[in-house]
């Protein structure tokens, strides 16, 4: 029974297993409040399974024991931080590694991390890649958004639209072309990438928990084949774009033109494409979901779009003026808890409040807990984009990696894609919820809905 339960644990639990597998931690809890192991071998794994997800387990743990808590994964100590105040004591703004990159590299068993100087260089390449690919491909992004609009305009008002399915398709089309180039103008290439992406994403990390992937030869073969196909695609693109000039600048060009070897380019592009596709898809999905349930917010967003764009075209300059739209997206990330946990390895022995955190302890940032803390976010369960008018709130959001200088490159990419899409859709359509629908949340590496989310649309003009 436990084996089956372990098999069902989310990606976040896989992350913990992966990092602890690679980095053994201290056995000493150092007096940090928390719970003792339920089982000698599995630690608190049964408690996490019974909670439904690591995020839900951490919510309960922090409610019981406060902002700094400990628990056990197997025979190893894990510390979780659950308020802005304690996170401020631990977060190092000079850290150059993207948490998503760190997590996915562990789960994919990529091991090409460099020193601080190399990581700083790669961060700059990432930033340039995101900026230049968004600028160079704005017309493409607008075209794909308008194609989706035309599709939705053709529907009768009573028709239910499968939002998750459409947003995943839109994200795959836009991200693959903007990250890897014109090969993905072919819908069949996008479909093939999406299939392999889905296989890899659904299997990442399971073997760290229960060895189920190694035990199931069919699943293991499918996973390895999907990963090999994705890597083969990337190797071909890297070779094609080296030493040549293309009219279309894409993200991978920044890495190819930098002083990185082919393996680093392959791994970084794999990480960025995997993360960007899923983050973009889920940000688009949740933003539209929340707009359908808040008529007042949708009206205010439409008024801003109408005021900024008027009857004119959507341009990069006009998109930058959509301040309220950015507030809507920030509030979407917060209330959806889009990425509910990130992690850092404790490099040296450290101190949080009065507690000593031993060296090589895995420290979780319980972002999902922090994002619903009423001491930081008044009325935390209310969808209220106006809260981000407050400069101090934006500073807190930046500290958590969701905005500003600490913003994850994959999220920055997703913000722009989603902004363009919303400017196109909300300008022409009322986005409406389906009466009686209850959307349940599934907390994984990126938060999603458990089932398909359905909406309806009606024409504004």
**Residue 105: pLDDT band with limits 50, 70, 90:** confident
Mean pLDDT of 100-125: 72
Mean pLDDT of 126-138: 93
Name the CA radius of gyration of the chain, rounded: 22
| Higher-confidence position of 199 and 297 | 297
**Model confidence at 58: pLDDT above 50:** yes
Pick the closest to residue 61 from 47, 75, 77 (CA basis).
Answer: 47
Cα–Cα distance for residue pair 325/331, rounded to 1 Å: 10
**Model confidence at 208: pLDDT above 50:** no
**Residue 50: pLDDT band with limits 50, 70, 90:** confident
Q: What was the pLDDT predicted at 30?
A: 64
**Residue 408: pLDDT band with limits 50, 70, 90:** confident
Q: What was the pLDDT predicted at 55?
A: 92
Q: Which residues pair with 349 in a beta bridge?
A: none
Q: What was the pLDDT predicted at 3?
A: 35
**Model confidence at 10: pLDDT above 50:** no
**Residue 26: pLDDT band with limits 50, 70, 90:** very low
Mean pLDDT of 191-202: 91
Quickly list DSSP for 204-273: TTHHHHH-HHHH-HHHHHHHHHHHHHHHHHHHHHHHHHTT---SS--HHHHHHHSS--HHHHHHHHHHHH
Q: What was the pLDDT predicted at 209?
A: 45
Number of other residues whose CB lies within 10 A of the CB of residue 23: 14
């Amino acid at each position: 029974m436990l084996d089956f339960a372990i098999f069902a644990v989310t990606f976040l639990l896989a992350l913990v297993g992966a990092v602890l597998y690679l980095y053994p931690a201290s056995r000493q809890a150092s007096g940090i409040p928390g719970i003792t192991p339920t089982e000698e071998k599995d630690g608190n794994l049964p408690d996490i399974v019974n909670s439904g997800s690591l995020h839900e387990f951490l919510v309960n743990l922090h409610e019981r024991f406060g902002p700094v808590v400990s628990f056990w994964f197997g025979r190893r100590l894990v510390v979780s931080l659950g308020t802005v105040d304690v996170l401020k004591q631990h977060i190092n703004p000079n850290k150059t590694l993207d948490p998503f990159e760190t997590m996915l590299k562990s789960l994919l068993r990529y091991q090409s991390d460099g020193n601080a100087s190399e990581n700083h260089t790669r961060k700059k390449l990432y930033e340039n890649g995101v900026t230049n690919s968004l600028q160079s491909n704005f017309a493409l992004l607008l075209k794909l958004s308008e194609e989706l609009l035309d599709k939705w305009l053709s529907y009768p008002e009573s028709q239910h639209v499968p939002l998750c399915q459409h947003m995943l398709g839109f994200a795959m089309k836009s991200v693959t072309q903007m990250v890897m180039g014109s090969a993905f103008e072919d819908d069949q290439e996008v479909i093939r990438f999406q299939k392999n992406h889905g296989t890899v994403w659904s299997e990442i990390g399971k073997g760290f928990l229960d060895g189920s992937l190694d035990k199931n030869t069919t699943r293991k073969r499918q996973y390895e084949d999907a990963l090999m196909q994705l890597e083969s695609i990337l190797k071909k693109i890297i070779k094609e774009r080296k030493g040549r000039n293309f009219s279309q600048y894409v993200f991978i060009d920044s890495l190819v033109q930098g002083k990185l070897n082919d393996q680093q380019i392959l791994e970084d592009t794999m990480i960025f494409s995997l993360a960007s596709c899923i983050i973009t898809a889920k940000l688009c999905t949740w933003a539209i979901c929340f707009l359908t349930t808040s008529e007042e917010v949708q009206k205010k967003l439409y008024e801003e779009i109408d005021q900024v764009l008027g009857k004119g075209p959507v341009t990069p300059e006009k998109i930058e003026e959509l301040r309220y739209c950015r507030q809507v997206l920030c509030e979407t990330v917060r209330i959806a808890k889009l990425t509910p946990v990130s992690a850092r390895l404790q490099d040296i022995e450290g101190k949080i409040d009065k507690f000593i955190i031993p060296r090589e302890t895995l420290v979780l940032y319980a972002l999902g807990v922090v994002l619903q803390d009423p001491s930081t976010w008044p009325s935390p369960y209310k969808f209220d984009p106006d809260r981000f008018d407050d400069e101090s709130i934006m500073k807190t959001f930046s500290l958590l990696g969701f905005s500003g200088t600490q913003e994850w490159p994959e999220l920055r990419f997703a913000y722009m894609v989603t902004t363009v899409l919303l400017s196109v859709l909300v300008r022409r359509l009322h986005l409406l919820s389906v009466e009686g629908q209850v959307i349940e949340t599934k907390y994984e590496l990126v938060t999603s809905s458990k089932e398909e989310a359905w909406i309806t649309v009606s024409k504004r003009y």
